[in-house]
């Protein structure tokens, strides 16, 4: 029997890595980072504990990998403006995209949100988070500056906080939280 080709090995690795990350995502969201053990993840992924360490250096690296993956999807939604400030239409479009993703990939983002919200995770990804959030906040600050408000930065950070709060409440209670009505109110009163 000839040994597997490099490509075969690579496919196995990609596959397994994804399985582990998915299992981790679900459990970290359900039980928190600290109360989810590597054993639990291995069991859910249907593999041995030891194998996880074949793919991730340690628990922390697994967490960071999961969260980073989510960040990358998030970044993909940020509008490209070539340094120009956002128009009102563009900002509305961005908000719509964000809210749409929230509802269509609900399960994923719920898991994702409950991981990122955990203080222990925050510490791990603080730097990444800041690096991603700052450009978004700046984009919004530029927008409010054009609008001529007195303190554009405060407006930008408030808009960020509002989006966080809305997402959080929607995640906790998706059945009753009136997401669309609230989006309209937000656009009307705050853009």
Partner DNA sequence: GATGAATGAGTGTTCATTCAT
Partner DNA sequence: CATGAATGAACACTCATTCAT
Residues that bind its own copies (CB under 8 A): 29-35, 113-114, 117-122, 151, 153-155, 157-158, 160-166, 168-169, 172, 177-178, 181-182, 185-186, 189-190
Q: Say how far apart CA 10 and CA 170 lie, in whole Å.
A: 39
Instruction: Give residue 13's Cα distance to chain centre.
Output: 24
Report the candidate in 44, 48, 50 with the shortest Cα–Cα distance to residue 21.
Answer: 44
Start-to-end Cα distance in the chain: 66
Residue 49: name its binding partner from its own copies, DNA, none (Cβ under 5 to 8 Å by kind).
DNA
Query: Can you tell me which of 22, 26, 32, 40 binds DNA, judged by CB under 7 A?
Result: 40
Does 120 help bind DNA (rule: CB under 7 A)? Answer: no
Query: Can you tell me which of 32, 53, 92, 98 binds DNA, judged by CB under 7 A?
Result: 53
Torsion angle in degrees (nearest 10) through CA of 23, 29, 33, 37: -40
Query: Can you tell me which of 32, 47, 145, 191 binds DNA, judged by CB under 7 A?
Result: 47
Cβ neighbours for 12, distance < 8 A, ≥ 6 positions apart: 4
Owner of token pair 């990444």: 128
Residue 9: name its binding partner from DNA, its own copies, none (Cβ under 5 to 8 Å by kind).
DNA
Residue 2: name its binding partner from DNA, its own copies, none (Cβ under 5 to 8 Å by kind).
DNA
Residue 108: name its binding partner from DNA, its own copies, none (Cβ under 5 to 8 Å by kind).
none
Query: Can you tell me which of 48, 87, 104, 128 binds DNA, judged by CB under 7 A?
Result: 48
Could you tell me if 183 and 159 are in contact, meaning their C-beta atoms sit under 8 angstroms apart?
no
Tell me the per-residue interface mask from 56 to 95 with DNA, x by CB under 7 A, - otherwise. Answer: -xxxx-----------------------------------
CA dist 41 → 59, 106, 117 (Å): 10, 22, 20
Residue 157: name its binding partner from its own copies, DNA, none (Cβ under 5 to 8 Å by kind).
its own copies
SS3 assignment, position 177: coil
Which pair of tokens denotes residue 145? 């500056």
Residues that bind DNA (CB under 7 A): 1-4, 6, 8-9, 12-13, 16, 35-40, 47-51, 53-54, 57-60
């Amino acid at each position: 029997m000839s040994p597997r080709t490099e490509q075969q090995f690579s496919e196995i690795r990609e596959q397994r890595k994804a399985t582990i990350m998915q299992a981790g995502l679900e459990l970290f969201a359900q039980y928190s980072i600290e109360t989810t053990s590597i054993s639990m993840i291995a069991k859910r992924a249907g593999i041995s504990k030891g194998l996880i360490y074949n793919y991730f250096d340690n628990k922390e690296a697994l967490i960071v990998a999961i969260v980073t993956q989510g960040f990358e999807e998030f970044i993909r939604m940020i509008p490209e403006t070539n340094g120009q400030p956002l128009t009102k239409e563009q900002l509305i479009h961005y908000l719509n995209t964000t809210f749409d993703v929230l509802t269509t990939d609900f399960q994923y983002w719920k898991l994702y949100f409950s991981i990122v919200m955990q203080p222990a995770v925050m510490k791990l990804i603080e730097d990444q988070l800041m690096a991603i959030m700052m450009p978004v906040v700046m984009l919004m600050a530029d927008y409010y500056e054009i609008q001529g408000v007195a303190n554009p930065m405060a407006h930008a950070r408030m808009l960020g906080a509002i989006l966080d709060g809305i997402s959080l409440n929607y995640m906790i209670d998706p059945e009753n939280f009136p997401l669309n009505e609230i989006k309209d109110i937000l656009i009307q009163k705050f853009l």
